[in-house]
Structure 1
Amino acid sequence: MQKSILTCLLLAGALLPFAAVAQQAPASTDVRELASSARWLTTRVYIEGAAETDVKANYPGVVGISTWDPERNRYEFFHVDTGHSKYNNGGGGYFFVTGDHKQHVLVPDIGTTKTIVRRMETLSKNEFTYSREVPRDMVEGNPPVRIYVVHAPYTGTVETKSAL
């Protein structure tokens, strides 16, 4: 009897780690949330460690209206004031989210940049926030900083015309 109890305890102890691994992973970001709005507007940009200070004016290259098509994995960026596409300057192409839902990778169709890797911070029906490391104020040679770019669904009147 004692031998069978000991065997059961040893067996249970050996299998316990596998039971812990088999538990459901927490819910993660669903890239289809990008389709919850036809267009997204950059609402705020801040530097890591200084979330209370909006620095959009220092980073105009990341500010705009954007569209995301998760069915085709296509994106396009537009100027906020005119609605004109930024496609010809690398503002359009393919995107994907890594399997662990931590990275958002852009692959522009044209332009000098080949890929841009961004860290996914928040993705829901009401907010899309990513971060990435860039030279301070986007000036080559400046020390790197991590910027956070916050977007909300765009409800304004500026019309956007796709170049794709």
Structure 2
Amino acid sequence: MQKNNITSTCLLLAALFCPLGSFAQQAPATADTRALASSPQWLTTKVYIEGAPQTDVKANYPGVVGISTWDPERNRYEFFYTDTGNSKYDNGGGGYFFVTGDQKSHILVPDVGPTKTVVRRLEKLNPNEFTYSREVPRDMIANNPLVRIYVVHAPYTGTVETKSTIKPDTNITN
């Protein structure tokens, strides 16, 4: 009983001397999920490895390069090939997404394909740039050491027409 009283007293004192606001973290000012809706399509413009932002390694990571669409109203995404505009849906390139409440993680849940969930660190999100990072095997080759890649996107203004596989009426249900 004495131990519980001491513990309670310490917790009460800690609460009085350390206001709750000091433990809260502010969300990054650059992260706004609505910014995904500022462009109907986004294009991968650069991929670089942590510590080497001056070196574009898109050619080594074709699986993360493409055109993407994001629908924040329905939390749906779809990825497309940049040369044909064909969908990557059947290979995990379409499904649901969400940004965590602290706006630090961007999570993909594909409808189909071998991958179940992909967690990406949200680096920057505004109407002009969408950048995430994640750890993958170097050059996307199994058994290679992990590296953190940064994938940079800008609003797509090119002429390739994308051919969506996701039906317009697909929406979140229980």
TM-score bucket of the superposed structures, by smaller chain:
0.7 to 0.9
From 101, 104, 125, the counterpart of 1:102: 104
Aligned to 2:19: 18
Structure showing greater Rg = 1
Greater displacement, 30-39 / 20-29: 20-29
Unpaired runs of at least 5, structure 2: 1-14, 167-174
Aligned to 2:169: none
Deviation (angstroms), 1:25:
3.9
Provide the secondary structure at the position in 2 that maps to 1:119. Answer: strand
**Contact (CA 8 Å) 2:48, 2:150: kept in 1 or not?**
yes
Q: Percent identity?
A: 74
Aligned to 2:90: 88
The count of aligned residue pairs is 151
Unpaired runs of at least 5, structure 1: 1-13
**Which residue identity does 1:163 align to in structure 2?**
T
Cα distance in 1 for partners of 2:145, 2:102 equals 29
Deviation (angstroms), 1:111:
0.4
From 123, 126, 144, the counterpart of 1:124: 126
Aligned to 1:161: 163
**Which residue identity does 2:19 align to in structure 1?**
F
Provide the secondary structure at the position in 2 that maps to 1:96. Answer: strand
Provide the secondary structure at the position in 2 that maps to 1:150. Answer: strand
Change (3 A) 1:139 1:22: closer
Change (3 A) 1:21 1:139: same
**Which residue identity does 1:112 align to in structure 2?**
P
TM-score normalised to structure 1 length: 0.86
TM-score normalised to structure 2 length: 0.81
Provide the secondary structure at the position in 2 that maps to 1:118. Answer: strand
From 143, 147, 151, the counterpart of 1:141: 143
Provide the secondary structure at the position in 1 that maps to 2:116. Answer: coil
Cα distance in 1 for partners of 2:45, 2:91 equals 22
Cα distance in 2 for partners of 1:57, 1:153 equals 20
Superposition RMSD in Å: 1.9
